Amino acid sequence: MASGERASFKNPVVNWIDERLPVFTLMNKEYGVFPTPRNFNYFWNFGAIAMVMLVLMLVTGIVLAMHYTPHADHAFGSVERIMRDVNWGWMIRYLHMNGASFFFIAVYIHIFRGMYYGSYKKPRELLWIFGVLIFLLMMATAFMGYTLPWSQMGGWAATVITNLFSAIPLIGGPLVELLWGGFSVDNPTLNRFFALHYLLPFVIFAVVFLHVWALHITGSNNPLGIEPKGKQDTLPFHPYYTAKDTFGLSIFLILYLLVSFYAPNMFAHPDHFVEFNPMQTPPHIVPEWYFLPFYAILRAITFDIGIPFTEIVFIPAKLGGVIAMFGAVAMLFIMPWLDTHPVKSARFRPQYKLFLLLLVVDFLILGYVGMEPADAMLFGSIKLLYLGQLCTAYYFAYFIVILPWLSRTEKALPLPSSISEAVLNKHKAKPSPEAAA
């Protein structure tokens, strides 16, 4: 990092520091003049938005930790104290609680954008993998955070989810005991979850650093999915994208604050306001909304896998569900090698676009299935489970069958020769306001 041209600065103090540690040169190179494709649309705001949400979660989380007591007897009460007696505690907590939801909203849109415009393809595979890793870490962090208020919903969600690991052959049992720190979800579980919930965001921060580093090596993808060929195709990051990101961010924050201040418990189930009671199972345990599609995939595997017509079972249903759930995330990791089509952007791949939009619908339906009780019916007669299984099948088929198949057969539409040409043509087609005047 130390090598390379140093920028010159007028301010002597800045210059003095930069000669010794070129942080200002670095910032100028990576965020000032950094060449960025000139044709981003608003989908490209969500990386910056997610970054802001991460910082917001860290700041609010650290303040909450100053007032929270990670003990089974006091956790629920200490959260209520934050809500009632700590100065501005209610605001910090509501911002943190809903911040998690909005962080996931931003990240889901960010992931969708990557899939739609082919941002996972060569040369950005590693960048993509870091991204999926962040997503996975976020899920672990959010799950443990869900447990901390020690409510009926949090405690029982922890019980259900940690129990999944018992399906793993041989190490399952000991692993669950390790997670629990005992033989049931209790005070030791809460303690380790709190420690990890505090740790993981910093791990996320480190992986975000790698994610951004990798991004600055390859440069950003863009809606056309063709690489910039020269200066005419790019704009300096500042002021063009700093301004655009700030505008997009402020719209996102308006939505976030609207929920945090006017419907702060919109995402919260009433069982969040009842203290955890290990002796009394709530009638309907649901995870947070951002896990619902994966929860539906978990519950879709209701059958053992073995040799038909014999009693030999290789994979019992429970293990099958766990494999499917983690497999659903694993698909994202290997996506760059499942889709080897040379064209990146879905704009030029009509078939890919169709199947991807179907996947979005599929994912939303899975979310709905995950929200409903396991024995729910569709239109009063069909088991909702079948819909969940169908959607799970499509989810995996999309990655394992459709992507490789399209890679070989799909004929892409003609690509524009360069970004600048495409941008200029678009504006030529419309009569410019100057010409009209």
Partner 1 sequence: MLRLIPILFCFVIAIGAASPAKAAEGEHPPHLHWSFQGMFGSYDKAALQRGYKVYSQVCAACHSMDRVYYRNLTALGYSEAEVKAIAAGFTVTDGPNDEGDMFERPARPSDHMVNPFPNKEAAVYANNGAFPPDMSLLAKARHGGANYIFGVMTGYEEPPVDAELLPGQYWNRYMPGHVIAMAPPLSDGMVSYEDGSPETVAQYASDVAHFLSWASEPTLESRKRTGFKALLFLLVFAGVMYATKKKIWANAH
Residues with catalytic roles: 216, 220, 244-245, 288
Task: Report strand pairing: 382-383 vs 377-378.
Answer: antiparallel
Among candidates 125, 133, 110, 157, which has minimal Cα distance to 291? Answer: 157
CB 137 within 8 Å of CB 207: yes
CB 305 within 8 A of CB 320: yes
Judged by CB under 8 A, does residue 100 bind partner 1?
no
Taking CB under 8 A as the rule, does residue 94 contact partner 1? yes
Contact 70, 194 (CB under 8 A): yes
Question: Is the CB of 40 or the CB of 120 nearer to partner 1?
Answer: 40
Pairing mode of beta strands 382-383, 305-306: unpaired
Assign residue 304 a region (left: φ > 0; alpha: ψ between -120 and 50; beta: otherwise). Answer: beta
358 makes contact with partner 1 (CB under 8 A):
no
- Candidates 196, 257, 305, 390; binder of partner 1 (CB under 8 A) is 257
Report yes or no: 94 and 264 within 8 Å, Cβ to Cβ. yes
From the list 21, 23, 65, 77, which residue makes contact with partner 1 (rule: CB under 8 A)?
Answer: 77
Contacts with partner 1, 204-233, as mask; x by CB under 8 A: ------------------------------
**Residue selected from 243, 358, 393, 401 as contacting partner 1 according to rule CB under 8 A:** 243
Task: Using alpha carbons, select from 144, 291, 287 the residue that is nearest to residue 204.
Answer: 144
Q: What is the distance between the alpha carbons of residues 121 and 114, in angstroms, rounded to a whole number?
A: 9
Provide the token pair at 357.
């939009």
Should residue 377 be labelled a site residue for partner 1 when binding is judged by CB under 8 A? no
Structure-token match 């896990």, residue found = 291
Q: Which of 46, 150, 180, 194 is in the footprint of partner 1 by CB under 8 A?
A: 46
Shortest Å, Cβ 255 to partner 1: 6
CA–CA dist 165, 28 (Å, integer) = 47
Binding partner 1 (rule: CB under 8 A), the pick from 25, 45, 222, 392 is 45
Nearer to partner 1, 37 or 336 (CB): 37
Judged by CB, which is closer to partner 1: 25, or 260?
Answer: 260
Applying CB under 8 A, the span of 26-34, 214-222, 261-269, 351-359 interacting with partner 1 comes to 261-269
Judge contact between 204 and 354, C-beta under 8 A: no
CB 214 within 8 A of CB 203: no
Residue 255 touching partner 1 (CB under 8 A): yes
Does 41 bind partner 1 (CB under 8 A)? Our answer is: yes
Q: Which stretch binds partner 1 (CB under 8 A): 106-114, 204-212, 310-318, 328-336?
A: 106-114
Q: How far apart are CA 49 and CA 57, in angstroms?
A: 12
**Window 158-197: contact mask with partner 1 (x via CB under 8 A):** ----------------------------------------
Residue 309 Cα distances to 77, 301, 306, 416, angstroms: 55, 19, 9, 57
Residue type, 398: Y
CB of 410 to partner 1, least distance (A): 24
Cβ neighbour number for residue 360 with a 10 Å cutoff: 13
Q: Site for partner 1 (CB under 8 A): which residue of 18, 233, 271, 339?
A: 271
Question: Is residue 427 within the footprint of partner 1 (CB under 8 A)?
Answer: yes
Q: Which residues bind partner 1 (CB under 8 A)?
A: 38, 41-43, 45-46, 77, 80, 83-84, 90-91, 94, 101, 105, 108-109, 112-113, 235, 239-240, 243-244, 246-248, 250-255, 257-267, 269-271, 273-274, 283-284, 286, 289-290, 292, 364, 367, 371, 423, 427
